[in-house]
């Protein structure tokens, strides 16, 4: 089995996905095919502006941490306005 992995070196989400996908691929004896792309270009081409996202969504970016074995550890989020 092969997994196509599209990633952007400047994206924190790509970093977290990489930490999660490697153990999944190993568990299923799959190979990873790396496809670098420029997420900024994709955003710009679609008139996406990150700072136009709702403030609550922006506060929750990066709310999780990856442990050494590849699991996602989420933190308790404070309610909006606290």
Q: What is the pLDDT of residues 13-53, one digit of tens each?
A: 888 888 899 999 999 999 999 999 888 888 788 887 766 76
Cβ–Cβ < 8 Å for 73, 64: yes
Q: What is the pLDDT of residue 77?
A: 46
Rounded CA-CA distance 81/33 in Å is: 43
Cβ–Cβ < 8 Å for 8, 39: yes
Rounded CA Rg of the chain: 16
> What is the value of pTM for the model shown?
0.52
In whole angstroms, how far apart are CA 13 and each of 8, 21, 64, 82? 9, 12, 10, 26
In whole angstroms, how far apart are CA 36 and each of 5, 7, 51, 52? 8, 5, 24, 26
């Amino acid at each position: 089995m092969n997994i196509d992995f599209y990633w952007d070196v400047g994206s924190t989400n790509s970093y977290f996905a990489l930490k999660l996908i490697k153990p999944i691929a190993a568990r299923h004896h799959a190979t990873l095919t790396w496809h670098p792309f420029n997420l900024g270009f994709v955003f710009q081409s679609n008139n996406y502006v990150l700072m136009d996202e709702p403030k609550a969504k922006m506060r929750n970016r990066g709310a999780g941490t990856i442990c050494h074995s590849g699991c996602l550890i989420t933190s308790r989020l404070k309610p909006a306005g606290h």
